[in-house]
Structure 1
Amino acid sequence: MLHKFLLSLACALTLSACATSPTGRSQFIYMPDTQINQMGLQAFDNLKSEKALSNNSRYIQFADCVAEALVHEVGGDWEVVVFQDDSLNAFALPGNKIGVHSGLIDLVDNQDQLAAVIGHEIGHVMARHSNERMSQETAVNTGIALIQAVSAPETALGQSAIGLLGIGAQYGIILPYSRTHESEADIIGLELMAKAGFDPRHSITLWQKMDAAGNGQAPAEFLSTHPSHDTRIEDLNKHMPKALKDYQQALSIGKQPRCSK
């Protein structure tokens, strides 16, 4: 009897945890979004208190301008912070938080290239990738400990919990998103930047610049856990016709961001 009850309970939880991503992919998600968002808020507060913030007003205005145009398509109130960090990185956390490293702004040539990265990171949040990964982790471990641990980032468990959100040890990446998540964020970001009035063709240029930043050695940090260069370009080109239509439609209704680096 108990065995049947537990089996029925497991089945019910599995069914209730079924979700669909913006691209139509089936997901296993059962963690409350309110808890995941709270973890994101706490993690972002930790970052702002422990990492150096950029005081470059041009960089801050540039990042704010690009992010504002993108999140206008998503809705909600988002906070954008530029961190003084030479690494080629950016991230978005549940709870509508966006972090951009100054090194990434140094690298990009224009607003469209920065939009490709920030759009990709917003794509992770839109697709609830942190929740999906946390749900998978807590399906075999205790979720309460992980949720509480995010407020203690100096501990090993705290780093693991923060890593599930997409950032980790020394605020790099220790528990990277899967290639499925990364590819999905690429496509969501491509569509998002196009609808916001950014030229989606620059996404390919951006990833090529990121790849070249490795100088033939190890790939740039941002790319280290992403699909291969050729796979990414192939996927972006496959979705480019639709993105260009979205882009032309955005221009036709006056969506023309003017963000200067």
Structure 2
Amino acid sequence: MRWMKAVGACALMVTVAACSTSPTGRSQMLLLDEQQLSQMGAQAFDQYQQELPTVSGRQLEYVQCVTRNVVQALPEDQRNQNWQVKVFESEDANAFALPGGYVGVNTGLLDVATNQDQLATVIGHEIGHVLAHHANERASTESATQLGMSVVGTALGSQGVTGSDQLMAAMGMGAQYGILLPFSRSHESEADTIGLQLMADAGFDPRASVQLWQNMSAAGGGQPPEWMSTHPAHGNRIAGLEAGMNDAMARYEQAQARGLTPSCKAP
């Protein structure tokens, strides 16, 4: 069919335009310029600071200490960024890292991540998203998906296909649950893998990652079915961490042998 050929040509054009590989060796499509992403990261960080009050003192020093140690395990180009770290007053157990070198941690997370190793799990995970260019990849995939659906919609309309509106709606649901949500879950799993390696390379105990997600599970209550969620189920997340634990422990022992023994005092 003509519309299928159009979509195929569109997909080929986008794929050829921006092929890349993530730190774990996974193929990626990156359409945005990294400078653009850094500018967007700075804007988002400013917006977050406008919406929530920031916290100073021992909590900030603690989060900065953990982040500083994790950052030292990054490749040189990422390590040498002027990383900015803020702690926000919020009960949500959440954290984020943004392109351009920005890290934010909510005070609510410090109630769940009960020691420096557990906090390093989260910060390593969030920085893992940045290291793997997930913001770029997600935006690129959504743009390509919308472009493909637009091409199909135009082709169907020009051919007078009966029920084209219903077909486009079904395709929209298929894109959401068959492409975008699983794609986001793959990002979360990949960030877990990268974060586990980063924290271990920095000298934090990777075994704390399992306890952190057990804490998260206890604090978070029920979750939607995994196929409807942008994050893996806690059990699957823990299983993925345990699968990478032998490698992480080897990295941890090597870091310890090099004298990397972070000592960040929890407030």
What secondary structure does 2:20 align onto? strand
Counterpart position of 2:222:
218
* 1:126 to 1:35, Cα distance in 2 relative to 1, 3 A: same
Q: In structure 2, give the amino acid aligned to 1:218.
A: G
Q: Which structure 1 residue ranges, 5 or more long, are not aligned?
A: 1-6, 143-174
Instruction: State the distance in 2 between where 1:8 and 1:109 align.
Output: 51
The structure where helix makes up a greater share of residues is: 2
Gaps spanning 5+ residues in structure 2: where? 1-7, 148-180
TM-aligned CA deviation for residue 79 of structure 1: 0.6
1:77 positional shift:
2.1
Shift of 1:11: 3.9
The amino acid of 1:197's aligned partner reads G
Q: Single out whichever of 75-84 and 112-121 deviates more from structure 2.
A: 75-84
Whether the 8 Å CA contact 1:211–1:219 is kept in 2: the answer is no
1:50 Cα deviation from its structure 2 partner: 2.2
Please say if 1:64 is aligned against 2:70.
Answer: no
* TM-score scaled by length of structure 2: 0.76
Deviation at 1:185, TM superposition (A): 0.3
Q: 1:168: which partner in 2?
A: none
- 2:48 alignment counterpart: 47
**What is the deviation of 1:10?**
6.7
CA separation in 1, counterparts of 2:50 and 2:237?
35
- Give, in whole Å, the separation in 1 of the partners of 2:134 and 2:26: 12
| Aligned-pair Cα RMSD in Å | 2.4
Distance in 1 separating the partners of 2:54 and 2:96: 15
2:112–2:212 Cα contact (<8 Å) kept: no
Amino acid at match of 2:259: G
Identity of counterpart residues, as a percentage?
Answer: 51
CA distance in 2, matches of 1:12, 1:126: 26
Q: Deviations over 1:164-209 (max 9, x none)?
A: xxxxxxxxxxx99711000000000000000000000000000000
Shift of residue 16, structure 1, vs aligned partner: 3.0
Determine if the alignment matches structure 1 residue 205 to structure 2 residue 211. yes
Q: Report the Cα distance in structure 2 between the residues aligned to 1:253 and 1:195, rounded to whole angstroms.
A: 10
AA in 1 matched with 2:255: A
| Bigger Rg, structure 1 or 2 | 2
Distance 1:17 1:85, change over 3 A: same
| One-letter amino acid of the counterpart of residue 66, structure 1 | V
